[in-house]
Structure 1
Amino acid sequence: MNKKRNDIREPSYFAAALFLFLKDSHPVLASDKNLIAERADSAADIYERMVRGGLPVAQALELANAVLYQDLRFSKFDTVFEVVSEWFPEVEPRRRTSFCLKVLPPAEAIFGKYPIDDDFGTSPLYRTLTIELTGFIQFYIEQYGL
């Protein structure tokens, strides 16, 4: 059962779960097959070892998910998408994803000002970040359009 789980034709539960999560919250990383395979393999190995060691399935899954989603719980894309959806109705719903992907690289300068980690979304600084992003996106639209 220690066979590597890299076969894209038969993705493991962990690979499929991570891919779907990345597709929604980190679309730039969704095509990184190495990241997905490495994380899925690590998560599956931990899960298997913990279950064999007698840990209940729910706890083993929790530990595996901690490895699978480490440093990915906070999503810059989701944050930009949330700001655009809430404050910029002129960006049509069908164009939001592409607009957010276009705005994300220049918005990195704003994200770089904050100590972002997996728990940043619950930090008091998160609100400050979203306010700053709102101003940045307004400026971006004025300068470059939609």
Structure 2
Amino acid sequence: MSDKQQTPYEEMSYYGLSLLSYLHDSHPELAADRSFIAERADRAAEAYSDAIRAGSSHTEAEAAASEELYRRLHFSPYNTLVHILWDEFASAIPEEAARAVA
């Protein structure tokens, strides 16, 4: 196993922690994939640096980094299921239990 797969949370980059938080909420099936997180975080940091070197503002560079970090992760089947449980099965499944059921 590579070092990136064994990296504790404390050693993750800003982008890695941001992605991990998003994955826990929206794509829990990917939250344990340390190599995926590390690769995305590295690409996001590189996109930010490239944008700054090209003369972009911090806001523009951050947008470029976010685009790379969250590429193809905007739709969450997990969140869709949670919302269906909240909306359609509220009487059978309490809202606080919907995430565990999903």
- Is the TM value for this pair above 0.5? yes
1: CA distance between counterparts of 2:85 and 2:95? 10
1: CA distance between counterparts of 2:21 and 2:39? 16
Whose helix fraction is larger, Structure 1's or Structure 2's? 2
Query: Quick one: which amino acid aligns to residue 101 of structure 2?
Result: F
Matched residue, 2:80: 79
2: CA distance between counterparts of 1:50 and 1:66? 12
Matched residue, 1:52: 53
Identity of aligned residues (%): 34
The count of residues paired between Structure 1 and Structure 2 equals: 95
- Larger Rg over CA atoms: 1
Where in structure 2 are the equivalents of 1:94-109 lying within 5 Å?
94-100=96-102
- Runs of 4+ off more than 6 Å: none
Unaligned runs of 5+ residues in structure 2 are none
TM-score (norm 1): 0.62
Matched residue, 1:17: 18
Unaligned runs of 5+ residues in structure 1 are 1-5, 101-146
> Aligned-residue CA RMSD in angstroms?
1.2
1: CA distance between counterparts of 2:28 and 2:86? 17
Offset at residue 50 of structure 1 (A)? 1.1
Structure number with higher relative contact order (C-alpha < 8 Å, ≥ 6 residues apart): 2
User: Paired residue for 2:93, among 80, 91, 94?
Assistant: 91
Offset at residue 77 of structure 1 (A)? 0.3
Matched residue, 1:27: 28
